[in-house]
């Protein structure tokens, strides 16, 4: 059949392009005669965004599925372990205001809901500390596993922090050397239509026209195919999520053995927040803010103040890179034979590192449901659009929750964030339900949710969300189970804080010895 899907062309070689290439090539045997051919074309003139260094634990599966060795990945991408996020000053802005969103599920998560027993005990121990040991690992800069733990396996669930530039290069190398992906370094200057409105080919400057059966738009903010060619509008989300500007900087450590934080540190500011990501060789730090609520000068000043706390006077001379963000999501992602993945499909803001995980989800979905031919493509496109739209809506709700649950009253940014006009109806409904009970897996209907109910629990209870006072009835049975879980968590905490090495120590060992596959 002539309309068989045989050749996929990916335009763009940032994280999105290479994750798409690696996932599709591995699953569809691009390096074998009967496999699907995959070509990635990227412009030598348009740089990749160069940020995006926090991930979710899904990345472990994504990499393993591509046949990547975790040791190679960590060595070459300057990667470190991430065990969640610490949110400082998001709730009251007082000095001791912080909470954790760890990656390990609450103890006994599928068996018993620990929220009510925790709340009724009125203990001074935070929700995260009562139900999960990971905050204590993070507070001590400990690693999530041992050098004798096999690659990709965990003692405590983990993701990575990585160098975005090195990550794209690493995947490029793996995809072209091991997975049979064709790589073209050239600028796409035109998009050529077929009669049915499909993309027939893209024209490049020196490699002529490149034809394909499916085109993946990974061109980042330029959205060459989905935006410029198909004119699919980006639906602006600034009315919900106000962040629209980033100031980014990289900062070296004091010494080669300075501790490496094993979590993302997110510190709320007057009109936004600062991310702080520790890699083995440097920290990546940035201030994202709402330009409606803050001037650039003020945002720079706050970033400098933050930096001065750890690096002193050196903060004065640093130059910041400014990145404009238009928080928005494409109205559709898959049109005809073109699907957008990455920032061409949408971007909101860096909170909770939702972008790369969304890319992984998109690529896995395209790969698993890859239409065999043009005839069935529209069916796949329709369900894909529904699913991805749903996921973006969930991400929007989850990110917005961080602002809505805040009690900060010190600036217009925080007050405006709680204006019901800015809160999606879906989130308002969930929050109304959560006045009376804790978030449950049943609140989220899809099989593969981006964020589990556990994530919502950690954020809500970390933020001391105003739960209605009566907590209701807890049976003896639940009470007993809960007591057991709390005790088990205490034991695990004790065990792991003594058994696990520091993040720095383990990363050094990974560089020196590497993980075993088994």
Ligand X SMILES: Cc1cc2nc3c(=O)[nH]c(=O)nc-3n(C[C@H](O)[C@H](O)[C@H](O)COP(=O)(O)OP(=O)(O)OC[C@H]3O[C@@H](n4cnc5c(N)ncnc54)[C@H](O)[C@@H]3O)c2cc1C
Which residues lie near other proteins (CB under 8 A)?
146-149, 509, 512-518
227 lies in the binding site for ligand X (CB under 6 A)? no
178 lies in the binding site for ligand X (CB under 6 A)? no
Say which entry of other proteins, ligand X, none residue 509 contacts (CB below 5 to 8 A, set by partner kind): other proteins
The residue among 53 and 70 lying less far from other proteins, judged by its C-beta, is 70
Phi, psi of 100 (to 5 degrees): -110, 145
343 lies in the binding site for ligand X (CB under 6 A)? yes
Name the minimum Å distance from CB 365 to ligand X: 16
Q: Name the burial class of residue 66, with classes exposed (0-12), middle (13-18) and buried (19+) by CB atoms within 10 angstroms of its CB.
A: buried
Say which entry of other proteins, ligand X, none residue 51 contacts (CB below 5 to 8 A, set by partner kind): ligand X
The residue among 16 and 361 lying less far from ligand X, judged by its C-beta, is 16
Beta strands, E only, 139-233? 159-161, 182-185, 188-193, 199-204, 209-211, 214-217
Beta strands, E only, 253-396? 264-269, 272-278, 282-289, 321-324, 328-330, 334-335, 338-340, 346-347
Stretch that binds ligand X, among 48-56, 107-115, 387-395, 405-413 (CB under 6 A): 48-56
Q: Name the burial class of residue 60, with classes exposed (0-12), middle (13-18) and buried (19+) by CB atoms within 10 angstroms of its CB.
A: buried
Say which entry of other proteins, ligand X, none residue 459 contacts (CB below 5 to 8 A, set by partner kind): none
The residue among 98 and 515 lying less far from other proteins, judged by its C-beta, is 515
Residue with tokens 């409904």: 429
The pairing of strands 264-269 and 84-88 is parallel
Name the minimum Å distance from CB 517 to other proteins: 7
Instruction: Give the residue, chosen from 22, 52, 144, 212, that forms a contact with ligand X under the rule CB under 6 A.
Output: 52
Instruction: Give the residue, chosen from 7, 46, 146, 298, that forms a contact with ligand X under the rule CB under 6 A.
Output: 46
Say which entry of ligand X, other proteins, none residue 246 contacts (CB below 5 to 8 A, set by partner kind): ligand X
Element (H, E) at 9: strand 7-11
16 lies in the binding site for ligand X (CB under 6 A)? yes
The residue among 54 and 102 lying less far from ligand X, judged by its C-beta, is 54
Structure tokens at 405: 């649950």
Name the minimum Å distance from CB 511 to other proteins: 12
The residue among 275 and 461 lying less far from ligand X, judged by its C-beta, is 275
Name the minimum Å distance from CB 52 to ligand X: 2
Q: Name the burial class of residue 183, with classes exposed (0-12), middle (13-18) and buried (19+) by CB atoms within 10 angstroms of its CB.
A: middle
The interface with ligand X within residues 291-320 (CB under 6 A) comprises none
Q: What is the 3-state secondary structure (H, E, C) of 11-78?
A: ECCCHHHHHHHHHHHHHCCCCCCCCCEEEEEECCCCCCCCCCCECCCHHHHHHHHCCCCHHHHHHHCC
Residues 473, 380 contacting (CB under 8 angstroms): no
Name the strands in the sheet holding 328-330, side by side, starting at the edge strand that comes first in the sequence: 234-236, 328-330, 346-347
105 lies in the binding site for ligand X (CB under 6 A)? no
Say which entry of ligand X, other proteins, none residue 325 contacts (CB below 5 to 8 A, set by partner kind): ligand X
Identify the CA nearest to 281 among candidates 321, 251, 313. 251
134 lies in the binding site for ligand X (CB under 6 A)? no
Name the minimum Å distance from CB 260 to other proteins: 19
Residue 43 CA to residue 162 CA, distance in Å, equals 23
Name the minimum Å distance from CB 46 to ligand X: 4
405 lies in the binding site for ligand X (CB under 6 A)? no
Residue with tokens 């120590």: 505
Name the minimum Å distance from CB 163 to other proteins: 24
Residues that bind ligand X (CB under 6 A): 11-17, 41-43, 46, 48-49, 51-54, 164, 187-188, 218-220, 222, 224, 246, 248, 286, 323, 325, 342-343, 350, 353, 355-356
């Amino acid at each position: 059949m002539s309309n068989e899907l045989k050749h996929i062309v990916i335009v763009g070689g940032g994280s999105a392009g290479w994750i798409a290439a690696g996932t599709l090539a591995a699953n569809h045997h691009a390096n074998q005669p009967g496999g699907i051919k995959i070509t990635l074309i990227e412009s030598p003139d348009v740089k990749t965004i160069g940020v995006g260094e926090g991930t979710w634990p899904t990345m472990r599966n994504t990499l393993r599925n591509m046949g990547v060795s975790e040791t190679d990945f960590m060595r070459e991408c300057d990667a470190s372990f991430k065990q969640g996020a610490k949110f400082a000053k998001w709730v009251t802005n007082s000095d001791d205001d912080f909470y954790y969103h760890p990656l390990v599920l609450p103890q006994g998560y599928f068996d018993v809901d620990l929220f009510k027993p925790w709340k009724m005990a009125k203990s001074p121990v935070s929700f995260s500390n009562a139900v999960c040991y990971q905050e204590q690992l993070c507070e001590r800069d400990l690693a999530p596993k041992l050098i004798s733990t096999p690659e990709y396996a965990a003692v405590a669930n983990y993701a990575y922090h990585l160098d975005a530039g090195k990550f794209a290069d690493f995947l490029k190398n793996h995809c072209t050397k091991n997975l049979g992906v064709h790589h073209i370094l050239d600028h796409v200057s035109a998009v050529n239509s077929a009669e049915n409105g499909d993309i027939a080919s893209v024209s490049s400057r020196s490699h002529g026209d490149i034809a394909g059966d499916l085109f993946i738009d990974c061109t980042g903010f330029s959205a060459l195919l989905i935006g410029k060619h198909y004119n699919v509008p980006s639906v602006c989300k600034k009315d919900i999520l106000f962040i629209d500007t980033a100031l980014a900087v990289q900062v070296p450590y004091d010494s080669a053995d300075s501790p490496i934080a094993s979590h993302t540190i997110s510190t709320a500011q007057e009109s936004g927040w600062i991310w702080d990501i520790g890699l083995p060789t440097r920290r990546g730090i940035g201030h994202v803010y709402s330009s409606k609520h803050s001037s650039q000068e003020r945002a720079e000043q706050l970033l400098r103040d933050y930096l001065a706390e750890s690096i002193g006077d050196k903060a004065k001379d640093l130059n910041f890179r400014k990145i404009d963000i238009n928080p928005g999501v494409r109205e559709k992602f898959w049109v005809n034979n073109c699907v957008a993945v990455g920032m061409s499909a949408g971007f909101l803001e860096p909170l909770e590192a939702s972008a790369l995980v969304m890319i992984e989800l998109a690529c896995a979905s395209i790969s698993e449901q890859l239409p065999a031919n043009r005839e069935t493509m529209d069916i796949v496109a329709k369900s894909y659009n529904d699913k991805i739209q749903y996921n973006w809506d969930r991400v929007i709700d989850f990110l917005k929750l961080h602002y809505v649950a805040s009690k900060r009253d010190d600036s217009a940014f925080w007050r405006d964030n709680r204006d019901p006009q800015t809160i999606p109806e879906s989130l308002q409904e969930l929050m109304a339900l959560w006045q009376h009970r804790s978030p449950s897996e049943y609140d989220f209907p899809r099989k593969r949710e981006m964020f589990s109910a556990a994530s919502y629990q950690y954020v809500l209870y970390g933020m001391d969300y105003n739960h209605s006072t009566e907590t209701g009835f807890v049976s003896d049975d639940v009470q007993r189970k809960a007591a057991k879980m709390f005790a088990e968590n205490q034991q695990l905490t004790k065990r792991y804080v003594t058994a696990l090495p520091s993040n720095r120590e383990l990363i050094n060992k990974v560089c020196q010895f590497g993980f075993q596959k088994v």
